[in-house]
Amino acid sequence: MDAFQFTLAETLKQAVASGAQSRTAQQGAQVRFVAGGTTLIDLMKLNVERPRQIVDINGLPMDRIVATADGGLILGALARNADVARHPSVERDYAVLSQALLSGASPQLRNMATTGGNLLQRTRCVYFRDPAHACNKREPGTGCSAIDGYNRMHAILGTSEHCIATNPSDQNVALTALEATIQIEGVKGKRTVPIGDFYLLPGSTPERETVLEPGDVITSVTLPAPKPGTNSLYLKLRDRAAYEFALASAAIVIKASGGRIETARVALGGVGTRPWRSLEAERALEGQSANKETFRAAAEEALKDARPQSDNGFKVELAKRCIVRALTMAVATKTA
Amino acid sequence: MPVVCCAFCAASRIDTRGDSLEKYTTDSELPQNEDGDARERHEILPARVSRRSFLTQLGAAGIAVTAPPALAAKAGTAVLEPDAQEAPALGDAVALTLKVNGKARSLKIDPRTTLLDCLRENLNMPGTKKGCDHGQCGACTVHVNGRRVNSCLSLALMHSRDEITTIEGLGQPGHLHPMQAAFVEHDGYQCGYCTSGQIMSAVALLKEPVGPSDEDVKQAMYGNICRCGAYENIVAAVQAGRSHA
């Protein structure tokens, strides 16, 4: 681990000013904010992250979970994953988020990891995590070891010839299906970014993963008010029953009445280079009968642009079955 | 003089009596001179060589032999940095007061020090174990403000405002925490390396929303890996500990 200066941010303004000293807020940042530390400290030990300054933001008052005037919910960026997952409003109105959080990591890690930190969770690509290998995300221009390497865990949607790494988060898949918005405080003041616009595709710049600029601090995530009669659910498929990243996962937010689907939101995890919303699947569901044929048609639509690598062809069919099963379970769930 | 190849070998001569000594030495005269030899060895060794002190000495010797002089000197100054007049420069040790098991401990540490390494190396509390060092095994589990966390993925400097509890703070021989006693009673370990982390997790889950069944316990404990596979007994111990706590 490289040496760094450690500072405590007493105010949000201080944190923004410290972060603004960095050349980038993306891979290679010289200044990093630390909250839970579960991603950052891990990657610093591997020399994948090498910041010169660590700004501890745990003292900032951003850990509350509060209702909005219009029935939504604001999750403070420092709210711990365990607290969000077990919050009564989240369990009742946003089951998909509670289930996604509880399907990830371990109880210890969920006590540490935060809402904002989880948004910025880095890929588990083994080549990204090992500086002995070429990786365009870690060292732009060096090549992608995964494309010609062992890529069973890698993405099949949103890939480029430069990077095929998956976004590993469960939380972010649920937030995508919930159409959450992200509040950011930066050098130029406050702004709100819909989660659908927050993550970038790798393209030719896989080292850039989000729209964040130097100095930007994520302060909260807002969930829109739940629509009455809506069911939500998270289904995660993985190599073992616990403490493992998704091979494929699906977050569903759906409203069906009289056997007909009124609205549907479908997001996928474990298969995309970013939390993967499938507008194609949603279009194939809305207005149709809630039955297995419709679900399968939606799944086919969601994966029609899939580009499997040498070792992960199985993910195409696995993701389709994950969608069908998740939709079947979601419409069968009794509405709260 | 008999040949002593290492500290273990020498310790064996001190602590062992009888014919079994011969397998530790090639010196045929040793049995006749056992007492004199033992006294002589006793003078150059600590009264009792523990596994930890032996390994620590071995580790220090290893660094001295293999590291270039500049690196060895740098490693030595990391925790012995004199009080700086200005703001600490990159790599300087910084002051920290950490509240561990109810006691405030003031120290100077390299900012890179994880909470785990701080407990083990700076505060000499080796009850908390280093397994994977990447948040994947749970051996390093401690409580921060009553909640279980992986101490390997946290910097010590992040905890100046927190209350840390380690296995040493739960109970001691003669006054065990009910969960510690349950692990002893149910043989909830084999090699014991993961045990302190298992117990810290098990004590934390007493305050978490965990259902009554063995399956619920397995779910709540999956952040603690036991490489020996003593899971059956660990679940039994946790269930017993829950009923006694």
Q: How confident is the model at residue B91 (pLDDT cuts 50, 70, 90)?
A: confident
Q: Choose among A171, A178, A151, A154: nearest CA to A277.
A: A178
Quote the tokens at residue B50.
Answer: 């523990």
CATH number for the domain that contains residue A301: 3.30.390.50
Distance from CA of B220 to the nearest CA of A (A): 7
Mean pLDDT of A25-52: 98
To probe the interface with B, which of A45, A98, A108, A129 has the most B CB atoms within 10 Å?
Answer: A108
A109 vs B133, B150, B158: nearest CB: B150
Q: Does residue A134 sit at the B interface (CB-CB below 8 Å)?
A: no
Calpha distance A235→A249 (Å, rounded): 5
pLDDT of the residue at B57: 64
| CB spacing of B157 vs A56 below 8 angstroms | yes
Asked if the model's pLDDT at residue B38 lies above 60, the reply is no
pLDDT digits (tens, 9 = 90+) for A254-275: 999 999 999 999 999 999 999 9
A38 lies in some domain: yes
Q: Do domains B94-170 and B178-244 have the same CATH topology?
A: no
A333 pLDDT tier (thresholds 50, 70, 90)? confident
**What pLDDT is recorded for position A305?**
98
pLDDT at A96 exceeding the cut of 50: yes
Domain-located, residue A190: no
- Whole-number pLDDT of residue B49: 60
Estimate to the nearest angstrom the gap between the alpha carbon of B117 and the chain centroid.
Answer: 10
pLDDT tens digits for B134-164?
999 999 999 999 999 999 999 999 999 999 9
Residue B106's CB: how many other CB atoms inside 10 A? 8
Least confident window among A285-299, B33-47, B208-222 = B33-47
CATH code given to domain B94-170 = 3.10.20.30
A124: contact with B, CB 8 A cutoff: no
Indicate the helix (H) or strand (E) that contains B165. strand B163-165
pLDDT tens, A132-150? 999 999 999 999 999 999 9
pLDDT for residue B174 is more than 80: yes
- For the ranges A104-108, B71-75, B88-92, the lowest mean pLDDT is seen at B71-75
Average pLDDT for chain A: 97
Residues A299 and A282: beta-carbon distance below 8 Å: no
In-domain check, residue A237 = yes
Asked if B154's CB is within 8 angstroms of A111's CB, the reply is no
Any idea which residue has 């399907």 for tokens? A103
For B210, the 3-state DSSP assignment is coil
Domains in chain A: how many in total? 2
Q: Give domain status of residue A328, yes or no.
A: yes
- CATH number, position A15: 3.30.43
Distances (CA, A) of B69 to A207, B65, B90, B92, B109: 38, 9, 21, 19, 21
Q: pLDDT exceeding 70 applies to what percent of chain A?
A: 99
Q: What's the mean pLDDT when you consider all of chain B?
A: 78
Across the interface, of A8, A45, A243, the residue whose CB is closest to B222 is: A243
Q: Which of A41, A46, A81, A101 to mutate against chain B (most B CBs within 10 Å)?
A: A41
Give the model's confidence band at B90: pLDDT under 50 very low, under 70 low, under 90 confident, else very high: confident
Q: List phi, psi (to 5°) of A265.
A: -125, 130
Q: What is the largest CA-CA distance in chain A?
A: 62
- Of residues B245 and B144, which shows the higher confidence score? B144
Residue ranges in A94-223 assigned as alpha helix (H): 95-102, 107-112, 115-119, 171-177, 195-198
Q: Do B148 and A107 touch (CB under 8 A)?
A: yes
Q: Show the domain range for A308.
A: 231-332
pLDDT above 90 as % of chain A: 99
Kindly list the domain boundaries of chain B, sorted by start residue.
Answer: 7-44, 94-170, 178-244
Predicted structure pTM score:
0.86
Question: pLDDT by residue (tens digit) across A275-287?
Answer: 999 999 999 999 9
Query: Is A124 within the bounds of a domain?
Result: no
**What pLDDT is stored for residue A202 in this prediction?**
98
pLDDT (tens digit per residue) in B43-85: 334 445 666 666 666 655 554 444 444 444 443 333 333 344 4
B contact residues 192-211, partner A, Cβ 8 Å cutoff? 201, 204-205, 208-209
Say what the pLDDT of residue B27 is.
41
User: Is the predicted pLDDT of residue B17 greater than 60, yes or no?
Assistant: no
Using the Cβ of A34 and the Cβ atoms of chain B, whether some distance falls under 8 Å is answered with yes
Strands of the A276-277 sheet, one edge to the other: A231-237, A248-257, A260-269, A276-277
Mean pLDDT of A78-103: 98
ipTM: 0.96
Q: Which of A233, A298, A295, A261 lies closest to A103, judged by CA?
A: A233
What residues in B contact A42, CB-CB < 8 Å?
A: 134-135, 153
> Would A73 be classed as within a structural domain?
no
Q: Which residue of B has its CA nearest to A85?
A: B209
Q: At the topology level of CATH, where does B178-244 sit?
A: DNA polymerase; domain 1 (1.10.150)
In a domain, A180, yes or no: no
- Apex B211 CA angle, B205 and B215, nearest 5: 95
pLDDT of A238 over the 60 cut? yes
pLDDT at residue A233 greater than cutoff 90: yes
pLDDT at B245: 76
| pLDDT given for residue A223 in this prediction | 98
pLDDT, tens digit, 9 for 90 and up, residues B115-138: 999 999 999 999 999 999 999 999
